[in-house]
């Protein structure tokens, strides 16, 4: 089972496709989740996912805007897609029939 | 002008592997993050990477077997090299501090002890790096810090004396020369050398045992002279000296120190011989 941040990372990498690399994934996570993402959390999670075989990474070409430094390109594997799908389905299943408006009103009392 | 955070960020990033450092600095340049946030990010990554390296047993073994026991022991052993109080007494009052052994024997003891301390410091630091390369700088800095702190506190002078009496710096200066500098040199050598067995390791182990034994042996001259001095005339025979409990205790303490300080390089040699033999058997 994936963790929440692992899911966010895989989802961002899938959306970015061939343009998925460290900085782009970080921006995509921050844009979609509206939360600040640290570079430390990003790279340690990338390592963990790669060790689990859910993503594959390679060193990309250096670019001018990066001061001539290379990128860490990310590709989600079939195992990663399956794990993310399972996570999404689990969240859907456990959320089924749950009315968050009612829960919020109950919590305010 | 770069902000206050830019320089520490660059320095901190040097603790990352070269490939990862290039990628992370590239990302930070592309994202145009504030220097403060970039610093926090790199600090977080470095801490996570460093902590991750402590999941193995080797860094803990090095910490418990080398850093904690040998750092303070080297510091206390180097205190015997402090020649400044005697020198000051001689310069100021023209009185030489007599230890009861001849000047030549005194000089031999100082030379052997200094050589032994340099060898022990270098070989312990080298073994520290060779046994746990990934945490070499964390364990190494801790090792140097322990050597320095124990040197200050076992110097025999209160810390305040350092600002009042110049010769109170003597033990610290001698510790810096014969312990800290060689240890730093050993760490650097270990960080740069290839992980395969160095050919000179058996020679280093042999030299460490020989010079350590000579240092302990010559130290015995001073202990014997002191025992004789406290006994008064006539001088004790060797057999009578050996029967004295305080002389025995000092001898056993020196022997224990020799075993602990020689341990790292002997262990490193044994490990290398073992893995060399295993490779040979697997190859055959």
What is the full DSSP assignment across chain A? ---HHHHHHHHHHHHHGGG-BHHHHHHHHHHHH-S---HHHHHHHHHHHHHTTSEEEEE---BGGGTSB--EEEEE-HHHHHHHHHHHHHHHHHHTT--HHHHHHHHH-
Domain range summary for chain B, segments of one domain joined by + = 2-52, 56-283
Cβ distance B41 to A39 less than 8 Å, yes or no, reads: yes
* Structure confidence at residue B34 as a pLDDT band (50, 70, 90): confident
Residues of A in contact with B29 (CB under 8 A): 65-67, 69
Q: Label residue A95 exposed, middle or buried (CB < 10 Å: 0-12, 13-18, 19+).
A: exposed
> Tokens 């963990």 label which residue?
A48
Q: What chain B residue is nearest to A65 in terms of C-alpha separation?
A: B30
- What are residue A20's phi and psi, to 5 degrees? -85, 115
Counted across chains A and B, CB pairs separated by less than 8 A come out at 64
Largest interatomic CA distance in chain B: 84
State the smallest CA–CA distance between residue A109 and chain B in angstroms. Answer: 39
Q: Is the pLDDT of residue A76 over 50?
A: yes
Q: Cα separation of A74 and A52, whole Å?
A: 14
Q: What chain B residue is nearest to A71 in terms of C-alpha separation?
A: B23
Instruction: Please give the average per-residue pLDDT across B263-278, as a whole number.
Output: 83
Distances from the Cα of B270 to the Cα of A74, B150, B195, B221, B267, angstroms: 44, 30, 15, 33, 5
Q: What chain B residue is nearest to A72 in terms of C-alpha separation?
A: B23
Q: Cα separation of A73 and A50, whole Å?
A: 12
Cβ distance B44 to A39 less than 8 Å, yes or no, reads: yes
pLDDT of B250: 79
ipTM above 0.90, yes or no: no
State the smallest CA–CA distance between residue A80 and chain B in angstroms. Answer: 23
Query: Tell me: the pLDDT tens digits for A7-42?
Result: 999 999 999 999 999 999 999 999 999 988 999 999
Closest to B16 in 3D by CA, of B53, B56, B46, B38: B46
Instruction: Please give the average per-residue pLDDT across B91-97, as a whole number.
Output: 67
User: Helix B201-231 and helix B103-131: axis angle, to 10°?
Assistant: 140
Q: Is the pLDDT of residue B1 over 60?
A: no
* Structure confidence at residue B85 as a pLDDT band (50, 70, 90): low
Pairing between strand A72-76 and A55-59? antiparallel
Instruction: Considering only the beta carbons, identify the residue of A26, A44, A70 that sits closest to B22.
Output: A70
For A98, other C-beta atoms within 10 Å of its C-beta total 8
Instruction: Considering only the beta carbons, identify the residue of A43, A44, A66 that sits closest to B30.
Output: A66
Q: Cα separation of A60 and A62, whole Å?
A: 7
- What are residue B15's phi and psi, to 5 degrees? -80, -10
Q: What chain A residue is nearest to B40 in terms of C-alpha separation?
A: A38
Distances from the Cα of A21 to the Cα of A17, A56, A65, B127, B146, angstroms: 9, 11, 14, 39, 43
Q: Between residues 3 and 32 of chain B, which touch chain A (CB distance below 8 Å)?
A: 19-20, 22-31
pLDDT of B86: 66
Q: Between residues 4 and 33 of chain A, which touch chain B (CB distance below 8 Å)?
A: 22-23, 26-27
State the smallest CA–CA distance between residue A83 and chain B in angstroms. Answer: 25
Closest to B131 in 3D by CA, of B199, B190, B52: B190
Instruction: Considering only the beta carbons, identify the residue of A27, A43, A70 that sits closest to B45.
Output: A43
For B240, other C-beta atoms within 10 Å of its C-beta total 14
- Of these ranges, B25-34, B118-127, B196-205, the one predicted with the greatest mean pLDDT is B118-127
Q: Cα separation of A39 and A47, whole Å?
A: 12
Distances from the Cα of B157 to the Cα of B152, B162, B165, angstroms: 8, 8, 10
Tell me if the pTM is above 0.90.
Answer: no
State the smallest CA–CA distance between residue B282 and chain A in angstroms. Answer: 29
CA angle, B127 then B132 then B135, to 5°: 120
Q: Which of B20-29, B98-107, B117-126 has the lowest mean pLDDT?
A: B98-107
Cβ distance B30 to A38 less than 8 Å, yes or no, reads: no
pLDDT of A108: 73
State the smallest CA–CA distance between residue B61 and chain A in angstroms. Answer: 25
State the smallest CA–CA distance between residue B20 and chain A in angstroms. Answer: 9
Query: Tell me: the pLDDT tens digits for B238-262?
Result: 666 666 777 778 778 888 888 999 9
Asked if B35 and B108 touch (Cβ cutoff 8 Å), the reply is: no
User: Helix B136-153 and helix B103-131: axis angle, to 10°?
Assistant: 150
């Amino acid at each position: 089972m994936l963790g929440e941040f692992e899911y966010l990372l895989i989802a961002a990498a899938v959306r970015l496709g061939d343009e998925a690399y460290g900085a782009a994934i970080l921006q995509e996570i921050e844009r979609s989740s509206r939360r600040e993402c640290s570079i430390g959390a990003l790279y340690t999670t990338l390592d963990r996912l790669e060790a689990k075989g859910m993503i594959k990474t390679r060193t990309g070409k250096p670019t001018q805007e990066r001061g001539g430094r290379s990128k860490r390109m990310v590709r989600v594997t079939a195992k990663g897609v399956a794990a993310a799908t399972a996570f999404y389905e689990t969240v859907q299943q456990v959320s089924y029939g749950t009315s968050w408006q009612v829960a919020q009103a109950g919590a305010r009392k | 002008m770069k902000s206050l955070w830019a320089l520490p960020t660059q320095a901190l990033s040097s603790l990352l592997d070269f490939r990862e450092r290039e990628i992370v600095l590239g990302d930070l340049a592309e994202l145009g993050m504030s220097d403060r946030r970039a610093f926090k990010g790199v600090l977080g990554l470095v801490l996570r990477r460093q902590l991750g390296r402590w999941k193995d047993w080797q860094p803990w073994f090095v910490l418990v077997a080398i850093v904690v026991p040998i750092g303070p022991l080297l510091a206390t052993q180097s205190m015997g090299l402090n020649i400044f109080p005697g020198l000051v007494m001689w310069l100021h009052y023209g009185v030489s501090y007599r230890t009861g052994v001849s000047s030549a024997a005194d000089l031999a003891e100082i030379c052997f002890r200094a050589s032994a301390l340099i060898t022990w410091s270098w070989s312990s630091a080298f073994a520290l790096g060779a046994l746990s390369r990934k945490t070499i700088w964390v364990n190494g800095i801790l090792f140097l810090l322990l050597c320095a702190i124990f040197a200050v506190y076992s110097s025999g002078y209160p810390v305040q004396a350092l600002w009042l009496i110049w010769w109170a710096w003597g033990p610290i200066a001698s510790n810096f020369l014969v312990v800290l500098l060689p240890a730093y040199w050993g760490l650097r050598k270990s960080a740069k050398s290839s992980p395969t067995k160095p050919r000179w390791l058996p020679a280093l182990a042999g030299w460490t045992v020989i010079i350590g034994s000579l240092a302990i042996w010559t130290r015995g001259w001073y202990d014997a002279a002191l025992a004789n001095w406290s006994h008064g005339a006539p001088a004790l025979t060797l057999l009578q000296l050996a029967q004295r409990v305080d002389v025995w205790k000092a001898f056993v303490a020196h022997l224990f120190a020799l075993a602990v300080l020689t341990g790292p390089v002997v262990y490193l040699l044994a490990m290398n011989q073992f893995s060399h033999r295993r490779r040979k058997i697997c190859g055959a």
